[in-house]
Each structure stands twice: as structure tokens, then as C-alpha cells.
Amino acid sequence: MSGKMNLEAVNEMGSKAIENINKLAELNMKVLEKITSRQMEAMNFMMEQSKRQMKLATEAKGFEEFIKGQAELAKEASQRMMEESKASMQIASEMREDYQSFVQQGVNALSEKVRKVTPGA
């Protein structure tokens, strides 16, 4: 293989590397958007729970009513946390699959390039 062909192969791999960096950046942004969205939803829920606790503390007609209300709020919060945990695990699984696919595509492309520039391969 001539020096010119080697140089072309290196240039092509460099271009592909930049392309892959851009793909990785897009994948990272997608992940960040999902995570940020989930965090905002969780924060909104916690703020709403805080408002409801303050309302309960000021409007409860007695200790028993307050305790009962607190138990209901705690039950609701724990159910929501369980739902969020499941959703987070699903997002993590999707992210893992996306990253694995990205890496596998890169490895396959690199292997193909190496085969092309390696004499006798």
C-alpha cells in the first residue's frame, strides 16, 4: 500500500473520529435531557408534597388527623419513589443499550478500516 493510500486512510479515520465524537455528543445530550426531565418532575412532586404537608400542619383539627394525614402523604411519596426508581432503571437500561450500540458500531467500523489498510488481511 502506498504512502498516499495510507495518508488517505488516516484522513478518513480522522474524519470518522470527528463524526463519532459528534454522535457521542448527541447521545449524551439525549441522556441528559431524559435525566433532567425526570429530576424536574421529581422536584415538582417534592415541592407539591411540601405544600401539602404545610397545609396539613396548619389545618389538621388534632394530633390524630395530623398523624393520619402524614401517613397518607408518606405512603403516596413512597409509591411515587418506587415508580421513579422503576422509571430510572428503565432509562439506565436504555442508555446502556444506546452506548453499547454506539461502541459496537465504532469497533466494527474501525475493524473494517484496519482490514482495508493492512496488507494481506
Q: Which range of residues forms the domain containing residue 42?
A: 3-115
Q: How far is C-alpha 68 from the chain's CA centre?
A: 37
Residue 121 lies in a domain: no
Residue 76 lies in a domain: yes
Between residues 18 and 72, the one the model is more confident about: 72
Residue 121's pLDDT is what? 55
Residue 103 lies in a domain: yes
pLDDT digits (tens, 9 = 90+) for 20-55: 889 999 999 999 999 999 999 999 999 999 999 999
Q: Is the pTM of this model over 0.85?
A: no
The structural domain count of the chain equals: 1
CA distance 70 to 4: 75
Residue 106 lies in a domain: yes
